[in-house]
Amino acid sequence: MMNIKGNHWLMPRRTLLKGFGVSLALPWLEVMSANAKDITTAGSMADSEIPRRAMFTYWGLGAEPTGFTPADTGKNYTLTPSLAPLAPFKEDCTVMTGLTSFTGGHGSCCCLLTGVNTVQNAKTLTSVDQQLAAYHGSATRFPALVLGTVRETGFGGPFPTTLSWSKNHTPITPENRPEVLFEKLFGSEDNKTLAAAKQAMSRRASLLDSIKDQASALQHQVSTADRERLDQYFTAIRDLEERIKVEGDWIDRPKPKIAKPDFGPGSPRDRIAADGRGYSEYTRLMFDMIALAFQTDSTRVVSHIPRTEGDEAKCYGYQTKSKWDLHTLTHNSQEDDKIAMWREVDALYMAEWAYFLGKLKDVKEGSGTLLDNTLAAWATTNGGPNAHDSKMLPLILCGGSALGVKHQGHLAKKDMPIANVWQTVITQVGMPQPDHFQGGIATGTVKELV
């Protein structure tokens, strides 16, 4: 008989039910909590058991500054029409204005999370999301998710399309299909598919060993320039080796069982029409997958580009009847009709972000919500009246009240580096600050928030 006054009965969080050759992971139960001194006192999650999460998003071409920026500061600020969709989450967010980044305009997304990466210089640093992934280690099946609207890095061209850079200085390719992301996170596995996955992983590891040995031998036969190219090749191999190692740590642990959403015919990404129809459905499906990944503790770190500088929604033309794409609106020559349209589409895009915040806030976790335990950032490196400047940048930091964040409504932080916001995020998540964080650009945390 179970001794209900002891603590040896406590159930591990990742307890499995096994039978007929299949293992299923149990959901989180109160009896798994350190708060549960015995069965009669089983209760909520202890603070130490709740994952601390971070999410970084990039919105290409920014927002129309005068329509976005509140006229007043502080907790009782007045929401502008562009920010109106955030009304249900006003106390969960801090709107910051006047920030700066290392560079701005087209192709500047690569410096958002790294501090100093640009397409002009050859300097690359590890992005903050990947630093957080390394901090969490193999605590989750996926140390980080890198997502976007296009499945390429843009590396080598004028317009990068990823926010994430590995510790080995290589850009990480985003996933842009929600249906593929779902299979990655929750796809069904049986003994046959697991065996095949293990065999494939073993083949990849053996192949990498062989390639590495051959490439190493080549170093003695090539010029200095070629040795540099081989070194870049080695860094890419090291990234793959590390991903394979994490895969190996998790391959025998069953994935959470989640009902598959209806993604419709084909890929939702391919259903975005020329007039923007399908963009909202697609974007919200991506946000649904991220919320599920957080809720199931499949990852604790996400970077995502919901809107590139290509403006996938085409200004919601089917709804706004806009004559212009977003890039044209940013080059508005201060024409009133273009500025008015820019503000209108800003509110529509902000509604997509509000949808995501609502998904997080609807999930109870411990004594709070998933949003309380997640720091989620709406950010851009496109500021100023023409959305091509590295100054006058807006940023919205959301959630994280259970992580000690004290939201301040609207904070005007003239010329404060975005890197300071990321320093605040990693501090509240509990990660020690790396040396020379963000290339030395960060000057401290945002004191008002902590």
Q: What CATH number has the domain bearing residue 74? A: 3.40.720.10
246 & 280 share domain: no
Residue with the larger pLDDT of the pair 49 and 235? 49
**Residue with token string 């009133």:** 336
Q: What is the pLDDT of residue 125?
A: 87
Q: What is the pLDDT of residue 155?
A: 78
**pLDDT tens digits for range 160-201:** 899 999 987 788 999 999 999 999 999 876 556 556 655 665
Q: Which of 313-322, 378-387, 439-448 comes out lowest in average pLDDT? A: 378-387
Cβ proximity of 336 and 88 under 8 Å: no
> Is the pLDDT confidence value at 321 over 90?
yes
116 & 244 share domain: no
200 & 174 share domain: no
> Is the pLDDT confidence value at 74 over 80?
yes
Q: Which of 85-89, 209-213, 288-292, 300-304 comes out lowest in average pLDDT? A: 209-213
**pLDDT tens digits for range 223-245:** 766 666 666 666 666 666 666 66
Residue that terminates a domain, selected from 220, 254, 288? 254
Q: What is the pLDDT of residue 430?
A: 96
Cβ proximity of 396 and 80 under 8 Å: no
Q: What is the pLDDT of residue 284?
A: 97
208 & 150 share domain: no
Cβ proximity of 56 and 112 under 8 Å: yes
**What predicted TM-score, i.e. pTM, was given to this entire model?**
0.82
218 & 312 share domain: no
Q: What is the pLDDT of residue 157?
A: 76
Give the structural domain span for 238.
188-254
Cβ proximity of 409 and 77 under 8 Å: yes
Residue with the larger pLDDT of the pair 7 and 208? 208
196 & 280 share domain: no
Q: How many domains does the chain have?
A: 3
> Is the pLDDT confidence value at 1 over 50?
no
> Is the pLDDT confidence value at 80 over 50?
yes
**pLDDT tens digits for range 397-432:** 999 999 999 999 999 999 999 999 999 999 999 999
273 & 418 share domain: yes
Share of the chain above pLDDT 90, in %: 63
- Residue 198: φ, ψ to 5°: -65, -40
Residue that terminates a domain, selected from 205, 237, 254? 254
Q: What is the pLDDT of residue 257?
A: 86
287 & 403 share domain: yes
Segment 285-300 shows an average pLDDT of 96
207 & 323 share domain: no
- Give 251's pLDDT tier (boundaries 50, 70, 90): low
Residue with the larger pLDDT of the pair 18 and 100? 100
**pLDDT tens digits for range 120-160:** 556 678 999 999 999 998 899 999 999 999 999 987 777 88
32 & 79 share domain: no
Q: What is the pLDDT of residue 24?
A: 41
- Give 29's pLDDT tier (boundaries 50, 70, 90): low
105 & 11 share domain: no
